[in-house]
Structure 1
Amino acid sequence: MAFIRRSKPNPQPTSGTFTPRPRLPSASAPTKPREREAGESSRTFLARAASHLRAAAMATVMQKIKDIEDEMARTQKNKATAHHLGLLKAKLAKLRRELLTPTSKGGGGAGEGFDVTKSGDARVGLVGFPSVGKSTLLNKLTGTFSEVVAAYEFTTLTCIPGVIMYKGAKIQLLDLPGIIEGAKDGKGRGRQVISTARTCNVILIVLDAIKPITHKRLIEKELEGFGIRLNKTPPNLTFRKKEKGGINFTSTVTNTHLDLETVKAICSEYRIHNADISLRYDATADDLIDVIEGSRIYTPCIYVVNKIDQITLEELEILDKLPHYCPISAHLEWNLDGLLEKVWEYLDLVRIYTKPKGLNPDYEDPVIVSSKKKTVEDFCNRIHKDMVKQFKYALVWGSSVKHKPQRVGKEHELEDEDVVQIIKKI
């Protein structure tokens, strides 16, 4: 006898109309782009579709970054895992570069309110979490009215510039919007904030005196993830690609972080199979990756601890002893002169006074040059690009010469507050 299985009828509600529950889209994945709407131009539709694809690609990269960070957190650090961790760090650096590099003309530019023309002799950026007092500090130092300074988060939404005239130098000061955790991964407006920070000669990380260490570590992590190295010098290692010969790894010191296999793994991740690598100190995998990436910025940084009027004298004494720290109270204008002096020290600028023939030196309007580019030729280029072509020799008064004056050539390096008279060709 054959048995016939009968399907059970779908239960129906006893009253009312049955409405199936809509399926919500996943929060981690972008929703599917709409079809082209009536009246929508092809250009608008294509731009919307391209934006959707960029968002989908970014979500994928961010997930890969999270997976690698989770794996690194689970992995113990020892000699046996050094090779694996080095490879993960190389993959992580590549993914972050992919995430933070603009994919199109309109996909990752400066953004509205961030396109501030660089002006003056130096640029200083104020970076910090919302409501730590950056806008108040800018107002006190420059007289620039940023916005209504409120005690709630996300007050400043754009990049606000101001100018300080200090020791004859024109210093541009930028109040950047409050940074949020995850900025290095493209969250919020973090990309625009840190991109602008990369153009600064000195970064001021403004911290709340109530929780300075917690905020300091989080901001450092965000800036490091964007390739900004604070108060560091470039790695003292040589990396040179070649056409053949494999990876040649040499070192003048004992290495505790890198070996040949780790170096090969990192290079292989970048599809580099032939290169000469020479170490002059005990470098890490991060140092090698920084050199290979070649896009790192090494910027002096001052940790400005604001609202010191809200902490005890004992806590203030501890902060005052820490390196690169400057305690202030922007609201009460405490130690703002000390902050300006520290900014000047970290900018490391050189003032050169001009002396026209037969006249006294002009001590009111010095020519400002960097301490790394302070030759007579650099001085001439700051005045006018054609001056070097007409240059014959220079007379210098100051600490850079033995005699007063002394005749020098364009290769001579000047010192702060030297006086220079340029003699041109006839």
Structure 2
Amino acid sequence: MSTILDKIAEIENEMARTQKNKATAKHLGLLKAKLAKLKSELLLPKSSSKGAGDGFDVTKSGDARVGMIGFPSVGKSTLLSKLTETESAVGAYEFTTLTAVPGTVVVHGTRIQLVDLPGIIEGAKDGKGRGRQVISTGRTCDLILIVLDAMKPLTIKNIIENELSGFGIRLNKTPPDISFVKRERGGLNFTCMNSNATLDAETAHAICKEYKINNASITVRSAANAEDLIDVIEGNRVYIPALYVLNKVDGLFIEELDVITEHMPDAVPVCADHEWGLDELLERVWEKLSVTRVYTKPKGQLPDYNEPVVLRGERRSVEDFCRRIHKDFVKSFKYAWVWGKSVQHNPQRCGLSHVLEDEDIVQIVRK
């Protein structure tokens, strides 16, 4: 009897043999849907609440969590030690780190938790080594640092990306703008509003049929493809920004490094042993996290510049600010006085929906 891994291999081989063109789009979409279902069954078993897919037990702390993922002996432990002064086992042999080791670094008033994860190997997403635990913990991160040995073939980068993708992690991507609503009747209704989308009605219907979905409304507003629709139907994908840390660059010539970084815009060259490029790495981490620092100002007092309230991404309204302090602040909210780049005059009276900018000052007036 074929195992799930055998079935996955069969489908991947068939996809590799199939020529990609408009005539085969429906067939490839169907194969991708079957592959996604098998991988979900393999990686996220429903029969067990605790299993090989669970991550390491590391308490999340600080304003953001950054996970370091890479093959063994690329220097993740040395990086953690240099950046956070946290002692993580370092050795000139593979699999020095056997569990997740957290450390904390403060960048521009933002407390960032760095997590050194054990080295993964090819096939991690299929359960080899402690790969599933590593990648499961990676799913909880706000940013992933893929640490690479600059002296080794950069094809390893593609292997790691494939392992993470196989576990539902989408790097440096935004969720596809696809509205997918199941209905009780009415059949499948497909509407595409973006001329750059490669997903068509026939492929979408084939994918839905594989998932035994007969009634649904699908509206595509982005340049989406079959994989994007599958991701929306699966509903368990995470979209995480990433940086590629090229460690051990002391062994490269400048010309070699220039060629690498030219084709890898999110690469950050460092040498952990010599502490080269670590400040630049922290700056890039802080920028990639899309941090907004907001300072509190109690009535009649000066603003508190020592402990900013940190908001991330698009969640930076006055309401988000209130919730970070305490959920009751939203219930008792009357209005806010705001100073800074987000207002036209200082101070300006604002409501809960007002969007804040970095280093704004906020005073909450409650009922």
For 1:265-414, what aligned pairs fall within 5 Å after superposition?
265-321=206-262, 322-414=264-356
For 1:18-417, what aligned pairs fall within 5 Å after superposition?
60-102=3-45, 103-108=47-52, 110=54, 114-147=56-89, 149-211=90-152, 213-254=154-195, 257-321=198-262, 322-417=264-359
TM-score by length of 2: 0.95
Aligned to 2:356, the other structure's residue is in SS state coil
Whether the 8 Å CA contact 1:212–1:305 is kept in 2: the answer is no
Once residues 179 and 140 of structure 1 are traced to their aligned partners in structure 2, the CA distance between those partners, rounded to angstroms, is: 22
Once residues 203 and 107 of structure 2 are traced to their aligned partners in structure 1, the CA distance between those partners, rounded to angstroms, is: 49
Aligned residues: 365
Whether the 8 Å CA contact 1:123–1:200 is kept in 2: the answer is yes
Aligned to 2:352, the other structure's residue is in SS state coil
Whether the 8 Å CA contact 2:120–2:134 is kept in 1: the answer is yes
The Cα shift of 1:311 comes to 0.7
The gaps in structure 2 that reach 5 residues or longer are none
Question: 1:83 is matched by which residue type in structure 2?
Answer: K
The Cα shift of 1:320 comes to 3.4
Whether the 8 Å CA contact 2:338–2:361 is kept in 1: the answer is yes
CA RMSD of aligned residues (A): 1.7
Once residues 95 and 317 of structure 1 are traced to their aligned partners in structure 2, the CA distance between those partners, rounded to angstroms, is: 41
Once residues 220 and 273 of structure 1 are traced to their aligned partners in structure 2, the CA distance between those partners, rounded to angstroms, is: 33
Whether the 8 Å CA contact 2:175–2:239 is kept in 1: the answer is yes
Once residues 196 and 309 of structure 2 are traced to their aligned partners in structure 1, the CA distance between those partners, rounded to angstroms, is: 45
- Check 1:388–1:277 CA distance in 2 against 1; reply closer, same or farther (3 A cut): closer
The Cα shift of 1:294 comes to 1.1
Once residues 223 and 141 of structure 2 are traced to their aligned partners in structure 1, the CA distance between those partners, rounded to angstroms, is: 29
Whether the 8 Å CA contact 2:52–2:127 is kept in 1: the answer is no
Question: 1:286 is matched by which residue type in structure 2?
Answer: E
Whether the 8 Å CA contact 2:199–2:225 is kept in 1: the answer is yes
1:418 and 2:360 are equivalent in the alignment: yes
Residues 194-238 of structure 1 deviation map (CA, whole Å, 9 limit, x = unaligned): 000000000000011023521110000001111111111111222
Once residues 224 and 251 of structure 1 are traced to their aligned partners in structure 2, the CA distance between those partners, rounded to angstroms, is: 26
The Cα shift of 1:319 comes to 3.0
The Cα shift of 1:108 comes to 3.0
Question: 1:341 is matched by which residue type in structure 2?
Answer: E
Specify which structure has the bigger relative contact order, considering alpha-carbon pairs within 8 angstroms and separated by 6 or more residues.
Answer: 2
Once residues 166 and 258 of structure 1 are traced to their aligned partners in structure 2, the CA distance between those partners, rounded to angstroms, is: 42
- Check 1:256–1:106 CA distance in 2 against 1; reply closer, same or farther (3 A cut): closer
Aligned to 1:137, the other structure's residue is in SS state helix
Once residues 336 and 378 of structure 1 are traced to their aligned partners in structure 2, the CA distance between those partners, rounded to angstroms, is: 32
Once residues 282 and 51 of structure 2 are traced to their aligned partners in structure 1, the CA distance between those partners, rounded to angstroms, is: 37
Once residues 252 and 409 of structure 1 are traced to their aligned partners in structure 2, the CA distance between those partners, rounded to angstroms, is: 34
The Cα shift of 1:376 comes to 1.4
The gaps in structure 1 that reach 5 residues or longer are 1-28, 30-58
Residues 343-388 of structure 1 deviation map (CA, whole Å, 9 limit, x = unaligned): 0001001101111222211111111112311111211111122222
- Check 1:109–1:67 CA distance in 2 against 1; reply closer, same or farther (3 A cut): closer
Whether the 8 Å CA contact 2:43–2:53 is kept in 1: the answer is no
Partner of 1:49: none
Aligned to 1:387, the other structure's residue is in SS state helix
The Cα shift of 1:110 comes to 3.0
Residues 12-44 of structure 1 deviation map (CA, whole Å, 9 limit, x = unaligned): xxxxxxxxxxxxxxxxx9xxxxxxxxxxxxxxx
Once residues 375 and 231 of structure 1 are traced to their aligned partners in structure 2, the CA distance between those partners, rounded to angstroms, is: 24
TM-score by length of 1: 0.82
The Cα shift of 1:253 comes to 3.9
Once residues 49 and 218 of structure 2 are traced to their aligned partners in structure 1, the CA distance between those partners, rounded to angstroms, is: 36
